Structure 1
């Protein structure tokens, strides 16, 4: 059951990040899930030591972990935009 919750929360985080970065029209539901989960890994690697919390990948469903995962997904989309277009939107 945790796997299904992980996929759903990852999809929601990826969708929110794509709405913030204005890339939602380019992505489907599958890519939103991938962005949310990979962004959570990136946020866990970069931001978790700063905030002292886990991410959604570490079965930590607190508000701080959701925000860390969201910021990680936004950073991931910014990197992808930078590599594809040469600028961050």
Structure 2
């Protein structure tokens, strides 16, 4: 069940980041990978900046953190691409 949860949250976060940064998604597989990488980046970044989203560790908090991390990953990738 944990793997399925990770894949679903990754897909949602990657899709949201694609909408925020580019206006379109990147396909299911890329969205999942982007969301999973974004979750790690988001957790690290929020920890370094001492940012807390709400209380507890609900699914919405996880999606917000993963989306924020995915946006950062897309932004950095865009800078490196130029």
TM-score, length basis structure 1: 0.75
After superposing on structure 2, the runs of 4+ consecutive aligned residues of structure 1 that deviate more than 4 Å are none
Which runs of 5 or more residues in structure 1 are unaligned? 54-59
TM-score, length basis structure 2: 0.80
Residue in 2 aligned with 1:31? 30
RMSD across aligned positions (CA): 1.9
| Matched length | 78
Residue in 1 aligned with 2:5? 5
Which runs of 5 or more residues in structure 2 are unaligned? none
Cα distance between partner residues in 2 of 1:66 and 1:28: 18
Q: Which protein has greater RCO, CA pairs closer than 8 Å, 6+ apart?
A: 2
Residue in 1 aligned with 2:39? 40
